[in-house]
Structures are given as C-alpha cells and as structure tokens.
Amino acid sequence: NAGVTQTPKFQVLKTGQSMTLQCAQDMNHNSMYWYRQDPGMGLRLIYYSASEGTTDKGEVPNGYNVSRLNKREFSLRLESAAPSQTSVYFCASSGPGQGFGNYGYTFGSGTRLTVV
Amino acid sequence: AQSVAQPEDQVNVAEGNPLTVKCTYSVSGNPYLFWYVQYPNRGLQFLLKYITGDNLVKGSYGFEAEFNKSQTSFHLKKPSALVSDSALYFCAVRDYRDSSYKLIFGSGTRLLVRP
C-alpha cells in the first residue's frame, strides 16, 4: 500500500529549464493537491484537482501548470524555472466526504527542487 | 477566508515535561481542524482532527488537542515529551471555496525536546 508517490525526490535545475513533477496515489481518492513548503511560510497551495478532469488555481499558481492525467495521477510542470521556485514540493490526496476521510490529507514524501 | 495561526516558531521542552504547541483559528461556521507532524526529510503525517463532539481529541503517538471555541484555539498537547517528538508541527483548517474543500496550513512550529 504505497499511498502517495512522488518523483523525483531531488532535482537541480538551471534557470529557464523546464521539468515535470510526478505524483500518483493508489487510494482511489478523488481530490489531489500540490503544495510548496518554504521556511517560515508553512505550506502554500499551488494547484488542486477536486476530481478527475478538473483543476483549479490555489494561492501561488504563477509559474506552474498542472495536469490531472487520470484519477491516480496529478503532475506539476515548471515551464521556465526561476530561483524563486526553489522549494520543497508536496503532493497530497484526500479521501471521500467533506471531512477528508479518516486522515485529512495523505502526503507524498516530497521533491526538493533547487533552481540555480 | 479560513485561517490558522501558529504564534511560536519554536518550542523547547525537556524530555518528560508536558508540551503545548499553540494554534488559533479564524473560521466562518463550524471548524474542521487538523494537526500534522513532519519529521526531517519526510512528508507530513496526520496526528489528529476535530470535527464535532468532545473538545479533547486524542491522536497518534500520545498526542491530544483541546478545542476551545471561546478562545478560538486548538492547542496540541502531550503529557510527557520524548526526544523523538522533536519535529515540525502544522495546524490546518478546512476551507471551502470555489465549490471545493482544501486545507489551509499554519506556518509551522518546530518542537525541540532536549534530553
């Protein structure tokens, strides 16, 4: 039972390069989310997908795009990376109902991205 | 909009002593509140949640949280701290906007338990 799987775990990019962060969940959850974590700022929502086929902007969407490929997979793309996007990125999914199931979110282990 | 605040960047406590990590909330309607813990280089793990019912919620690893409506607080507590409790703790509140539910997180509190 893997839960939420994120790849890669670490990545170094040069300014202007592009990349896609992958996320997959095996819990049959409808909703999936991408957050970034920065020191002193907690987790900030980038994009989310309430259900398969829908995506919406969160608090800090600029510079990112997302794709909900199917119910299991939700990817985050940086088209032209900037040093301000250096951060730790977390994918999460949530279970059924308004109470988010038993555990709220289930998180992946994160991707540590450095843009130089 | 819903929000939570964690007023302390860091909490220091000696092993064996009780610990409290503070969280206050601002919501319209009934709050759905959560606590998560993050160990180094790991994702966030669920500790406990409050939706309705008893104001004292018990969770994983011996943690509990007290919901106080009059003070709009949801403080995380443990009677006897362990060195292994040292980690980053996040309070979160459910938010409903644009026909979707999501969690809004506080800035986090680092707990350091010294031997």
pLDDT, one tens digit per residue, over B9-48 is: 999 999 999 999 999 999 888 889 999 999 988 889 999 9
The closest alpha carbon to A92, from A73, A70, A107, A111, belongs to: A107
Contacts of A98 in chain B (CB under 8 A): 32, 94, 101
Element (H, E) at B20: strand B19-21
Task: Give which of B27, B44, B110 to mutate to test A binding, by max A Cβ within 10 Å.
Answer: B44
Q: Phi and psi for A84 in degrees, rounded to 5? A: -65, -10
- What's residue B16's pLDDT? 97
Banded pLDDT at B63 (limits 50, 70, 90): very high
- What's residue A23's pLDDT? 97
User: Tens digits of per-residue pLDDT, A45-101?
Assistant: 999 998 888 999 999 999 999 999 899 999 999 999 999 999 999 999 987 665 566
- What is the SS3 assignment for B48? strand
Tokens of A4: 């939420």
- What's residue A104's pLDDT? 81
- What's residue A100's pLDDT? 63
**If you ran DSSP here, which 8-state letter would residue B115 be given?**
-
Scan residues 39-58 of A and list those with Cβ closer than 8 Å to B. Answer: 40-45, 48, 50, 56, 58
Q: B12 vs chain A: nearest CA distance in angstroms?
A: 17
The residues, ordered by sequence, that sit 6+ positions from A39 with a Cβ below 8 Å of its Cβ are none
Beta-carbon count within 10 A of A32 CB: 28
